Chain A
Amino acid sequence: MHPVLNHLKRTVCALSLLGLAFQASAQTKVDDAWVRATVPTQSASGAFMTVTADSDSKLLSVASPVAKDVQIHEMSMKNDVMTMGPVKSVELPAGKAVSFDPNGYHVMLMGLTGQLKEGDSVPLTLTVENAKGEKETVEVKAPVRALTNMGGHDHSKMH
């Protein structure tokens, strides 16, 4: 093998190991975060993601510079009536991927400071507390997706 290539390979290997080590130190993982785009002067929108904690924890709050007030809401459906409202926290059982999608829990960005356009990126800071009462913050950059995105599990079966 070419010496330079070999060297490069080793570096990549070391870097990926470093990446793994970094990953292991984080207790809460956030995947597939996205925010729904808005039309001009619309003052609220939703943020969606999957959150997995490695030990029994709670999501206490979410903050974002794009909104004056960020709340965690729960949506439920009974007899075709959609019920919504804020919750104090969301349980994150160890190792369980908890979905924040248009069909259940979601993050409400209220009092938006401006229009959210498709392709923008929204910083979100999640505060998670484990069973020992230790708090951890997780920073996420959530891309803004089209207003028309069906999100979550796609009901359309078109894909």
Chain B
Amino acid sequence: MTALLTRRKVLAGMGVLGLGLLAGCDTRGQLSYKYGKDLSDKILGRTFKLKNPEGETMSLSSFRGMMPMIFFGFTQCPAVCPTTLARAAQIKKLMGRDGDRLQVVFITLDPERDTPQILDAYVKAFDPSFVALYGTLEETKATAKEFDVFYEKVPAGDTYTISHTSTSYVYDSRGELRLGLSTSLTAQECTEDLLTVMEVC
């Protein structure tokens, strides 16, 4: 039943998308989400420039045409980060064909320990399409600030762990910020809201 509804929704979404493309894709319309937080009145993540593991500079516009879902974390994070990435992989599957347009982006808050090699292996263990981004300490700080992401090192023995904001930020295919997804939501709940975004753009 759910699958059927989803499929219908997807079909409806594709229709609206077609119209949207004709009409130049209405980004003004207020969308109502069932689970996530509407962030369309916020301006976040417009100017960041970070590197992917291949060393290429990436910004939000690098993902134009895709629906980016951006999440901050670090690979030594035992709990929230792998759980959120695993959920993202499930969402991509639940979205079916539309999942091909979902671009999961993992930004490390721990560039000192997360080398490009570790980052790449880590995100690709969840899904080969996932992208990891990193910057210098300053670039990381500036990016987090731009997203209003809180993070802080917490001393742990002779090393440290990191407390951080765990929201996933979703943009539409034109790069407009749309939705904030909390870690408490299920993959199914996220998928429903993501399909709502796709219906418009």
Chain A residues in contact with chain B, CB under 8 A?
Answer: 36, 39-46, 69, 71, 73, 75, 77, 80-86, 102-103, 106, 108, 110-111, 146-151, 155-158
Contact = CB atoms under 8 A, between A and B. Distances in A.
Interface of B: 75-80, 82-83, 85-87, 89-90, 113, 115, 117-118, 121-122, 125-126, 150, 154, 156-159, 161-167, 180, 182-188
Given A102-B79, A158-B187, 8 more contacts: A41-B115, A44-B78, A46-B79, A77-B80, A83-B163, A147-B126, A148-B86, A149-B86
Contact of A108 (B78, B115, B125): B78
A111 B156 CA distance: 12
A147 to B, nearest CB: 5
B87 A82 contact: no
A148 B85 CA distance: 8
Contact of B157 (A40, A110, A148, A149): A110
B122 A147 contact: yes
Contacts of B77: 84
Contact of A156 (B90, B154, B164): B90
B188 A157 contact: yes
Contacts of A157: 186-188
A146 to B, nearest CB: 8
Contacts of A84: 77, 79, 154, 161-163
14 contacts: A36-B78, A39-B121, A41-B117, A42-B75, A44-B78, A73-B156, A77-B166, A77-B183, A82-B163, A82-B166, A102-B80, A148-B126, A156-B187, A158-B90
Contacts of A82: 79-80, 163-166, 183
Dominant secondary structure at the B interface? mixed
Contact of B87 (A36, A46, A150): A150
B121 A148 contact: no
Nearest to A108: B78
A111 B159 contact: yes
B5 to A, nearest CB: 16
B179 to A, nearest CB: 13
Closest 9 CB pairs of A and B: A46-B78, A39-B121, A102-B79, A44-B76, A83-B163, A85-B154, A82-B166, A82-B80, A148-B86
Given A86-B157, A102-B78, A150 B118 contact: no
A15 to B, nearest CB: 38
Contact of B82 (A77, A110, A148, A156): A148
Nearest to B79: A102
A65 B50 CA distance: 37
A156 B94 CA distance: 11
Contacts of B164: 81-82
Contacts of B80: 75, 77, 82, 102
Contacts of A146: 125
A46 B79 CA distance: 8
B186 A156 contact: yes
Contacts of A39: 75, 118, 121-122, 125
A151 B82 CA distance: 10
Contacts of A83: 154, 163
Nearest to B151: A81
A106 B76 contact: no
A147 B87 CA distance: 12
Contacts of A149: 82, 86
